[in-house]
Structure 1
Amino acid sequence: MREVIITREPVGLYKILKFEGMVSSGGEAKSVIAEGMVLVNGEKETRKRKKIVSGDIIEFNNETIQIRLK
């Protein structure tokens, strides 16, 4: 599991996927979220703008990241 440091919270889920390079664009991020391909804290998440905070764990495409606030 990789740790991702954010400087403010909350952050939209699609932005995390995009800025961490898990997808190639914001549009792709929104698409994979809407299709139910992303897990947040072990549960399928379909809200593109789901607010992510410190301690959340995001899983997508065999990659897991944990969010930490700086």
Structure 2
Amino acid sequence: MISIKKFIVKGEFITLAQFLKEEAIISSGGQAKWYLQDNPVNLNGQLENRRGKKLHPGDTLKVEGEEYRFVTE
């Protein structure tokens, strides 16, 4: 069973690149484009590869074998 990690969104949204950087999946925002070309990321059950995609509270993201649910504080 996959445990779902909660990620607190400070503000209205966070971009996919910002999220990947905050979770230390990539070390800089500039790496997001290349990372997303080579690694599948599922947002709400759909493949997502836009680094500027806005992630909102209520969204679910699967990346690197982990599942995240975005919540407010």
Q: TM-score range by the shorter chain?
A: 0.7 to 0.9
SS state of the match for residue 46, structure 1? coil
SS state of the match for residue 62, structure 2? strand
Q: Is 1:41 paired with 2:41?
A: no
TM-score if structure 2 supplies the norm length? 0.80
Structure 2 residues without counterparts, runs of 5 or longer = none
TM-score if structure 1 supplies the norm length? 0.83
Give how far 1:61 is off.
Answer: 1.2
Provide the identity percentage: 31
Whole-angstrom distance in 2 between the partners of 1:16 and 1:8: 13
Structure 1 residues without counterparts, runs of 5 or longer = none
Give how far 1:51 is off.
Answer: 0.5
Give how far 1:20 is off.
Answer: 1.5
Residue equivalent to 1:66: 69
Q: How many residues align?
A: 70
* Structure 1 residue runs of 4 or more that deviate by more than 4 Å after TM superposition: none
